[in-house]
Amino acid sequence: MADDTATPDFRKDLIRYGGDAYPEIVEKALGCYVYDAAGNKILDFTSGQMCATVGHNHPNVVAAIKKSCDTALHLFSGMIPRSVVDLAAKLAALVPKPLAKSLFLNTGSESNDAALKMAKLATGGYEVVGLGGSWHGVTGNASAVSFASDRKGYGPGMPGSFVIPEPNAYRCPVKHCRDKCDLTCMKVGFQLFDMQSTGAPAAVIAEPVISAGGVIVPPPGYFAALKVEAQKRGMLLVFDEAQTAFGRLGHWFAASQLGVTPDIMTVSKTLGGGMPLAGVITSSAIEETCHARGFAFYTSHVSDPLPANVGLAVLETIERERLLERSRELGDYLAACLAELKDRHAEIGDLRGMGLLRGIELVKDRETREPHHALGAATTTRCLELGLSMNIRRRPERGSVWRIAPPLTVTRADIDLAMTIFDQALRESKDALSRERVPARLAPRARATGS
């Protein structure tokens, strides 16, 4: 007789969609922890897929879902529920002016696709510039200007898509700077764009922190200069704040923190608290132009009531629990803890990030900065065995970088536990690799993917 209680093999019926699948089925998640079918308790330092802003299954999020069950889960796309009206009003009060009007969708891919369609319609152009290492999604417009991974094998992307080098002073893509970016990458990038442009510029899209590309924090003044370059060419500036808005960096929006307001802002991951919710926010003037020219983004789940209710709950929780202040405070604490680890481990070549979004880059030698992919892979595996989930980005040209982004509700005790596990995993992995003497060319390299 078959054992009905046995854990099923999830590989049997599922299409594999990239990245490394966790070996056990996950049974539940709560706060900063995930629990699997084998009984393991795992400290989640990636906030799910960077989305569980206020922790997994926060009571306010659960209550908002239950409220929707008593009112409305889904409506005809032309019907506007009260939760969508309230969420739009709330965002209009928070975003930097002249941003004012919102469109609510499901994913960051959708929001970036919609934003770029609006930019093309508003400008009459179709050429879009993205930054190297960026990740904006998997849909047509968004994937065409995503350069972190997953570009090969699918044929041509959207016509009019261009890339300029990212401002990574640790690994300068134009081999010019070392540790201090002087914006040469931007100047060279736009010179190359101008050579190739057919005279139909539309938009520049950028993440305030280039997350999937290795947690790259552009230097002071970068985005002000980027906006100038966009305006020179009649292009709109789009900020993709999927991972930087709503407290991740210690502020409501990176745009406010930077003092640079984009023409269009997209939000997603950090707004939904684990539910699929994304938004496009722009000025009344741009919205009016797009509407007059026939803008349409009429999806099955545009303006859905359930995710909007959850978005309102997330914003209320951030305010009530003072999570912006908490992100700044614990982000500083996390940075100090990581600095101590860097002092103990010569393989930690660089630390970067803001708030509760941090990056740790591993190298074989701090002078040559040769990436240590084998150590990154081994340490990530060992961390998971010890009860810590961390996301690593491994690409030859961008190094081996851990991306750390715990929920904003993380505690000092959680951070201390994570640092203890990470320290142990790093020491044990170094010892194991030293014993095995694995040649660099044979070192394991799992494919980094996704946002």
pLDDT of 11 strictly over 90? no
Task: Give residue 14's pLDDT.
Answer: 86
pTM summary value: 0.92
Residue 233 annotated to the active site: no
Asked if 383 and 421 count as a contact pair (C-beta separation under 8 A), the reply is yes
Do the Cβ atoms of 382 and 30 come closer than 8 Å? no
The catalytic residue among 207, 241, 263, 287 is: 207
pLDDT for 6 equals 59
Tell me the pLDDT band of 446, cut-offs 50, 70 and 90.
Answer: very low
Q: Respond yes or no: is residue 240 known to be catalytic.
A: yes
Least confident of 3-7, 124-128, 192-196: 3-7
Q: What percent of the chain has pLDDT over 70?
A: 94
Say if residue 440's pLDDT is above 50.
no
237-257, pLDDT tens digit by residue? 999 999 999 999 999 999 999
Catalytic residue among 117, 171, 227, 269: 269
Residues 44, 52 contacting (CB under 8 angstroms): yes
Contact between 121 and 287 (Cβ < 8 Å): no
Mean pLDDT of 73-86: 96
Specify the pLDDT at position 442: 39
226 in Cβ contact with 240 (< 8 Å): no
Q: Which domains does the chain have, with CATH numbers?
A: 26-54+323-437 (3.90.1150.10), 59-320 (3.40.640.10)
Confidence of residue 2 (pLDDT cuts 50, 70, 90): very low
Number of neighbours of residue 188 by Cβ within 10 angstroms: 15
**74: closest CA among 244, 293, 305?**
305
Q: Is the peptide bond before 208 cis (omega within 30 degrees of 0)?
A: no
Residue 137 has pLDDT above 50, yes or no: yes
305 CA to centre of own chain: 24
**Annotated active-site residue in 113, 127, 229, 240:** 240
Average pLDDT, the chain: 92
Contacts of 26 (CB under 8 A, 6+ apart): 34, 35, 36, 37
Q: What is the pLDDT of residue 316?
A: 98
Per-residue pLDDT band at 20 (split at 50, 70, 90) = confident
Average pLDDT over residues 28-41: 95
Give buried/exposed letters for 160-181 (b at 16+ CB in 10 A, else e): bbbbbbbbbbbbbbeeebeeeb
* C-alpha dihedral sign at 81, 86, 87, 91: positive
- The whole-angstrom separation of Cα 429 and Cα 434 is 8
pLDDT of 152 strictly over 60: yes
106-142 burial, b at 16+ Cβ within 10 Å, e below that, comes to: bbbbbbbbbbbbbbbbbbebbbbbbbbbbbbbbbebb
pLDDT at 352 over 60: yes
% of the chain with per-residue pLDDT over 90: 86
pLDDT number for residue 410: 97
Q: In this structure, are residues 167 and 186 in contact, taking their beta carbons and an 8 Å threshold?
A: yes
- pLDDT of 23 reads 83
403 has catalytic annotation: yes
For residue 397, pLDDT over 70 is answered with no
Mean pLDDT of 99-111: 98
Q: Is 269 a known active-site residue?
A: yes
Is 182 in the active site? no
Identified catalytic residue from 243, 252, 263, 414: 243
Look at strands 201-206 and 127-131 and give their pairing.
Answer: parallel
Identify the band that residue 149 occupies on the pLDDT scale cut at 50, 70 and 90. confident
> What whole-number distance in Å separates Cα of residue 128 and Cα of residue 237?
10
Give the pLDDT confidence score for residue 1 in this predicted structure: 41
366: annotated active-site residue: no
pLDDT tens, residue by residue, 357-367:
999 999 999 99
Which of 44, 117, 120, 135 does the annotation list as catalytic? 135
